[in-house]
Structure 1
Amino acid sequence: MAQEIIQTEYSEIMQKSYIDYAMSVIVARALPDVRDGLKPVQRRTLYDMYELGTRYDKPYRKSARIVGDTMGKFHPHGDSSIYGALVVMAQDFKMGLPLVDGHGNFGSIEGDGAAAMRYTEARLQKMTQEVFLADLDRNVVDFVPNFDETEKEPVVLPARIPNLLVNGSEGIAVGMATSIPPHNLGEVIDATIALIRDQNLSDDKLMDIVQGPDFPTGGIVVNQDELAEIYRTGTGKIRIRGKVEVEKIPRTERQRLVVTQIPYTMIGMGIGKFLNDCAALADSRLGSEIADISNQSSKEGIRIVLDLRKGADPSYIEKLLYKKTRLEDTFGVNMLAVADGRPETLSLRRILEAHIDFQFDIATRKYTSLLKSEEKKKDIQEGLIRAVDVIDLIIEILRGSKDRKMARDCLVTGNTEGIRFKTVKSQKAASKLHFTETQADAILEMKLYRLIGLELDSLQADYDQTLKNIAAYTDILNSYDSMANVIISELLSFKKAYARPRRTVITNAGAVVIEEKKAEAYPCVFLMDRFGYARTVDEPVYEKNREAADSENRIVLHTMSDAKLCIYTDIGRQHILKVEDVPHGKFRDKGTPIDNLCNYDSKDELYIDVIPLSNIVNMRLIFVTEGGFVKQVEGSEFDVAKKTVAATKLDEGDRLLSVHLAHFQTTMVLHTANQYLLRMNEDDIPLQKKNARGVRGIQLGEADRVENVWYLEEGAPTEAVIEEKTVALNRLKISQRGAKGTKLRK
């Protein structure tokens, strides 16, 4: 047999394969269908339970049996995904309307997992049977072969409520994810009915009905004004808080905070994380008013208790919990679902419209099926009524026929050949019979008790009822209003049976602002050694070790514990460092690298000075670069919120050499590598912005640069040793800024 080699690009094969895989995951596994709001694994599990007979009024079945049957018939993707879906559908703290009635350990809101499937049992909820699985025998949805074509499964369940909104959905596909919050059944049904009655209903009117999400865990949605845009676009972020109540501790003057509802996002291990965060707050300065924490949650609901110390402010601690823990969290909304066979981000209106279209399609198929059944029944009933009028003739035909076929042919076509009649008159009458085949079969199967008088009356009453049904079904199929009324009637019955009051409160609340209670500031000494390790010590500790501290550290700075320090580096940057962030301890503690305390990078820059911000704000700073440029800058320019800013502009190859607080009526001396000295007045240095390069302070020769700067302040040293020669700096001639300076004589 000849073989054909097909040459193709490898990348094209990979692209097609990946797209096929991605679409398979998106449509067949991860995303719900907008019509019934179910993922394939959920749909198949519910249908299998229906087929197994695990109805709400039947005994529970082992979960392992349900999982195995579902996997063997409909969902060959492993038992864990099926059991996981079964468990979630039974958890009332995750589902707005649980679809499965679980018996046994199906997990808890605190993150405890469900027991193994061999230990738990399940059956369908009554609601699931009535709302999701009713009328499957009336051709209301399409059926397709299962994976091995040995069974048939529904493409979608005939859900009568917008389940995508009621129960929400979460799933991660390839390159996309869905996150739809649960909503209140009563509100969703009311919105559906309103949209059926008025297809041009505005989005604002819809939002008046569907106020927002209704989480099973309750909570408080605090960004109501943003919900309209979220539901219009299908994406956004919902801010939700837990509910906190204040109680008085009996027989004491103390109070406690009790968390009775949690954000939906805290379900599971989030509660344990919240308790740990509360404990961390209690150990910190911010939450020192928290005396004790206990989790008293039970089957009755959430109850997390925080006992407060005497005189504590409950309002402050409540704000602290919202700000520092997940008691206020964000639920990301992305209403992505499969619509018309492809993934689509849907608005609230689009979801409701898709559901309404689906309901009309279900109703059309249902009443078409019912109409056909009633018309068939009408045909049979008409035949039986006619047969009763000529029952003696029919009995004579039956007695004179050799077999059923002969009698049936006579009833349908009037063929009397081979049939023995008592009289010619009977034969002629029989030849005029023309029943339909369906009527003939019904006559041949009719029981003699139907000839009783009362039974004849019942037959006529049934026939009259059938005519009424046909008229009603025809009207429903031919009239939008009639079909709409039927759908609305069903929705109202479901609302009456299964709706519950709203649990989640919808409101507006601004961001939590905490006025942190600052600890009283105290004097301390900032120490940084030549390796860049920083720490603070109390002033008495420094005084006791003054000699060692001064000799071992490059920077020794007296400051306050609540102060900010400005670190200036040779590449022209300013880093802000809070003293409270610097480790405080004993004198011989090693400290922490300055790199870890601020944005300073010891690999790329070298610090040249550290100055308290409080000293800078109302003063001026003098900048001197190796290239001989100088300037003065108002200190207020450096009081900024950013931790790192550019302190000055530098030419390429130039570096910042000195930053110093200006003292008017004093002089400064610049010393260059070629041994030139220039003394000038600080007043001669112009005031400029921090992003300016500065002006020339000294005229440099080729390859020369400024090496040292001395500021001749009152009480400061006036002599310097340069190349083993002592120079009296205060005797140098004061020159103009920008001069060449005086050459140091050897």
Structure 2
Amino acid sequence: MTDESALEGEYLPLKTFAEKAYLDYSMYVVLDRALPHIGDGLKPVQRRITYAMSELGLSAASKHKKSARTVGDVIGKFHPHGDSACYEAMVIMAQPFTYRYPIVDGQGNWGSPDDPKSFAAMRYTESRLAPYAATLLAEIDQGTVEWVPNFDGTLTEPRVLPARLPNVLLNGGSGIAVGMATDVPPHNLREVVAAARHLLDKPKAQLDDLLALMPAPDFPTGCDIVSSSDELRAIYETGNGQVRVRAVFERDGQDLIVTALPHQVSGAKILEQIAAQMRAKKLPMVDDLRDESDHESPCRLVISPRSNRVDVDALIAHLCATTDLEKTIRVNLNMIGLDGRPRVRGLVEILSEWLVFRRQTVRRRLEHRLGKVEDRLHILEGLLVAYLNIDEVIRIIRTEESPKPVMMDRFGISEIQAEAILNLRLRHLMRLEEMKIRGEQDELEAERKWLSGVLGSESKMTALIRKELAADAEKYGDARRCAIEARPPARALSESDLLPAEPITVVLSELGWIRAAKGHAVEADALNFKAGDGYLCDVPGRSNQPLIVLDSTGRSYQLAAHKLPSARGQGEPLSGKLNPPAGARFVGLILGDATQRVLLGSNAGYGFVTKMADLESRNKSGKAVLTVPKGSQVLAPLPLVAQAQWLCVVASTGRMLAFPLEELPELTRGKGNKLMSLKKGETLVGWAALAPGQQLRIESGARHIGLRVVDVEATYLGKRAQRGALLPRGFQRVQNVLAVDA
């Protein structure tokens, strides 16, 4: 039989119970674990650690005590969670490379910038509060805080510490709650105080006014902040964004020295990232890498370039783009406000709300002190009555069974005053004590007048807060560590820039076999070719430059010159690397930089100037660049030197025309413009670009002639698309035209 009493209780649908349970958990994580309070800038565990250490007497002037003792007090009295999590929170508060102004002063191994979690166990380390902690605790016993029961109701703890400074901005912090997170970067104390004082004086101050005083975060590691002013302003306006930070570089002779790293970046990790690139041969301009960090120089990473010709600025940009030498730090100014609700706030709102908190705290402190002063004055008035009537007081005490009510009735004093008189010691019943009482009365009356004046005047209250902020800034502040220098995001070097720039000569055969020989002094036509194959063309350049191949249909293809097979063999067929149209053959090569100008054309007498960048294509099928008239053939491409002024074109009938190169437009693709007027059956057989100081060499069989610039100008110079003039007798069948140094 079922026991009905066992089934009694509250029944809820699982959906309702789960929603309520998860909501309760979420609110607990948000309000009592992950987010800082705007008043003291601390999460609950940090607040409890700080308060427990003050209760243990671990002030900055005391001796260090075992960290395990503090952690035991915290988790036993205020924070019923794991000891390891509590100790880790305490470690973070003690690390000078994590906190801009550490709250805990640690002794022992508290971790290092390379490995912040390498701290020793709490049974080995010792700790006490740092001097800065006084800004959080100095006023805790002056009636400034609201006391709430601890987790088991046996003790009380402060809801929020009476911070004298906006610690929420000074030390910052990060945390992940349920459905929200916070990432507040640290700031410079003097700058934040300057902004707070400005806002005190001008409550309607705009964001730009505050940013003139505190323009950016200030990280403890002293890196460079490279975000633009617009980016920083957007962060402080919305409470969200990212700050770009970069390592600090110095030059020591030829070496590059890293003297400061971005916040929470390990030097060991940086060395590992750079070394990985060196092992992969992706950093040929770096010769050596070493860590010279020591006690005097906590961060000194040495990067030695391979030579003094290395572009150091480009190297720095590449390292910043490919390693953590430059990183973005997320900013999310989410915190619990005075209304007990979490919200993302902008800078003006944060400082304004904190000043409201500070004003409330100072008012509570002054009211508490005023109450103490008035209580003491009340007692002093009673003591003065006793001294003025000392004989009567003594008689009442000696003769009356209940002297207190008799004195209250006889002298018209209160019960508190009567109790104070009864507690007097005999040695205080002397004339000197009356003088001390009157002196103390005068001092306390002056203090009461001052306290009442400040409490009754908002301007005086503002002046007091302003003065106290200035005093704390002078005592605990320091200079900014992070320089602010706006720079664009770092960009990595391209693959070609990272390759060694070795001189090479690329050779192409008639059947489309390609290879590369080291150096430029290569007799390409004397190389060994396969049976039935022969030399077609060669082009000098460097191994880090892109190689363009042109085929007989006017398509261009791109290859990596450094990946070509060696000229010691017979090379490899281009058909295995590229996918040209059926029946197409390769007719020429171009090797140079992206800005290299090239002349393309066909023997039909048309051509145009283009750039290497317009010929590049990652597609194996190439890129259609030159439109070839039906029945015509593509001429070998002609690289143009920067000084070239005249273009000389030669027809198959022995006619030559020279015209200014500037008459030929620059195109990206197409048929081109008419170079020379040709009759039916005529074709172009060669061309050359002539520069001052060069001469034109024309070859016909075993014969050749050299024409100087003045000779070309005198006989063959004309306008584009003209017929030109006949070459000397014997040069009606020209095989080659080229420009050579005079």
TM-score, structure 1 as length reference? 0.70
Q: Which residue of 2 aligns with 1:335?
A: 333
- Distance across 1 between alignment mates of 2:568 and 2:28: 66
Q: Which residue of 2 aligns with 1:231?
A: 236
Pair 1:467–1:581, CA change in 2 (3 A)? farther
Pair 1:78–1:643, CA change in 2 (3 A)? farther
* Matches for 1:95-494 after TM superposition, within 5 Å: 95-111=99-115, 113-128=118-133, 130-226=134-230, 227-248=232-253, 255-266=254-265, 270-282=266-278, 287-300=283-296, 301-313=298-310, 314-339=312-337, 340-402=339-401, 406-412=402-408, 414=409, 430=410, 433-494=411-472
Opposite residue 272 of structure 1, the aligned amino acid is A
After superposition, the C-alpha distances for 1:62-104 in whole angstroms (9 at most, x for unaligned) are 1111112211111122112211111111111111111111000
Q: Which residue of 2 aligns with 1:626?
A: none
Q: Which residue of 93, 100, 108 maps to 2:97?
A: 93
- Distance across 2 between alignment mates of 1:355 and 1:577: 63
Pair 1:312–1:111, CA change in 2 (3 A)? farther
In the alignment, structure 1 segments of 5+ residues that lack a partner are: 249-254, 415-429, 527-534, 550-557, 568-573, 601-605, 621-634, 649-658, 668-688, 691-746
Opposite residue 292 of structure 1, the aligned amino acid is D
- Does the residue aligned with 2:41 lie in a helix, a strand or coil? coil
After superposition, the C-alpha distances for 1:688-732 in whole angstroms (9 at most, x for unaligned) are x99xxxxxxxxxxxxxxxxxxxxxxxxxxxxxxxxxxxxxxxxxx
Pair 1:396–1:101, CA change in 2 (3 A)? same
Maintained 8 Å contact 1:73/1:146: yes
- Does the residue aligned with 1:397 lie in a helix, a strand or coil? helix
Opposite residue 82 of structure 1, the aligned amino acid is C
Pair 1:663–1:492, CA change in 2 (3 A)? closer
Q: Which residue of 570, 573, 579 maps to 2:560?
A: 579
Q: Which residue of 2 aligns with 1:34?
A: 38
Opposite residue 278 of structure 1, the aligned amino acid is I
Bigger Cα displacement from structure 2, 23-32 vs 317-326: 317-326
The answer as to 2:87 corresponding to 1:83 is yes
TM-score, structure 2 as length reference? 0.70
Bigger Cα displacement from structure 2, 33-42 vs 445-454: 445-454
After superposition, the C-alpha distances for 1:548-570 in whole angstroms (9 at most, x for unaligned) are x9xxxxxxxx9997447899xxx
Q: Compute the displacement of 1:209 (Å).
A: 0.7
Maintained 8 Å contact 1:296/1:305: yes
Maintained 8 Å contact 1:244/1:257: yes
Q: Compute the displacement of 1:643 (Å).
A: 6.3
- Distance across 2 between alignment mates of 1:565 and 1:474: 88
- Does the residue aligned with 2:330 lie in a helix, a strand or coil? strand
Pair 1:466–1:396, CA change in 2 (3 A)? same
- Distance across 2 between alignment mates of 1:665 and 1:166: 76
- Distance across 1 between alignment mates of 2:430 and 2:463: 40
Q: Compute the displacement of 1:40 (Å).
A: 1.1
- Distance across 2 between alignment mates of 1:505 and 1:610: 60
- Does the residue aligned with 1:291 lie in a helix, a strand or coil? strand
Q: Which residue of 1 aligns with 2:638?
A: none
Pair 1:587–1:157, CA change in 2 (3 A)? farther
- Distance across 2 between alignment mates of 1:329 and 1:536: 44
Maintained 8 Å contact 1:566/1:610: no
Q: What fraction of aligned residue pairs are identical, expressed as a percent?
A: 34
Maintained 8 Å contact 2:615/2:625: no
Pair 1:578–1:665, CA change in 2 (3 A)? closer
Maintained 8 Å contact 2:557/2:621: no
Number of residue pairs aligned between Structure 1 and Structure 2? 598
- Distance across 2 between alignment mates of 1:575 and 1:362: 77
Maintained 8 Å contact 1:575/1:643: no
Opposite residue 143 of structure 1, the aligned amino acid is W
Opposite residue 664 of structure 1, the aligned amino acid is P
Q: Which residue of 2 aligns with 1:664?
A: 629
* Matches for 1:504-519 after TM superposition, within 5 Å: 504-512=482-490, 516=497, 519=501
- Distance across 1 between alignment mates of 2:385 and 2:582: 112
Q: Compute the displacement of 1:17 (Å).
A: 2.8
Opposite residue 442 of structure 1, the aligned amino acid is A
After superposition, the C-alpha distances for 1:34-79 in whole angstroms (9 at most, x for unaligned) are 1111111111111111111112122111111111221111112211
After superposition, the C-alpha distances for 1:287-345 in whole angstroms (9 at most, x for unaligned) are 43322211111233311112334424444433333333222221221111111222211
- Distance across 1 between alignment mates of 2:282 and 2:241: 32
Maintained 8 Å contact 2:223/2:246: yes
- Does the residue aligned with 2:233 lie in a helix, a strand or coil? helix
- Distance across 1 between alignment mates of 2:343 and 2:431: 63
Q: Which residue of 2 aligns with 1:714?
A: none
Opposite residue 354 of structure 1, the aligned amino acid is E
RMSD: 4.7
The answer as to 2:67 corresponding to 1:68 is no
Opposite residue 507 of structure 1, the aligned amino acid is E
- Distance across 1 between alignment mates of 2:314 and 2:169: 36
After superposition, the C-alpha distances for 1:177-231 in whole angstroms (9 at most, x for unaligned) are 2222111111111111111111112211111111211111112112242222221
Maintained 8 Å contact 2:239/2:333: yes
- Distance across 1 between alignment mates of 2:18 and 2:556: 51
Bigger Cα displacement from structure 2, 217-226 vs 352-361: 217-226
Pair 1:575–1:6, CA change in 2 (3 A)? farther
Maintained 8 Å contact 2:556/2:625: no
Q: Compute the displacement of 1:407 (Å).
A: 1.0
- Does the residue aligned with 2:336 lie in a helix, a strand or coil? strand
- Does the residue aligned with 1:96 lie in a helix, a strand or coil? coil
- Distance across 1 between alignment mates of 2:356 and 2:395: 56
- Does the residue aligned with 1:132 lie in a helix, a strand or coil? helix
Q: Which residue of 1 aligns with 2:660?
A: none
Q: Which residue of 2 aligns with 1:683?
A: none
Opposite residue 125 of structure 1, the aligned amino acid is A
Q: Which residue of 1 aligns with 2:29?
A: 25
- Distance across 2 between alignment mates of 1:31 and 1:608: 71
- Does the residue aligned with 1:260 lie in a helix, a strand or coil? strand
Maintained 8 Å contact 1:336/1:345: yes
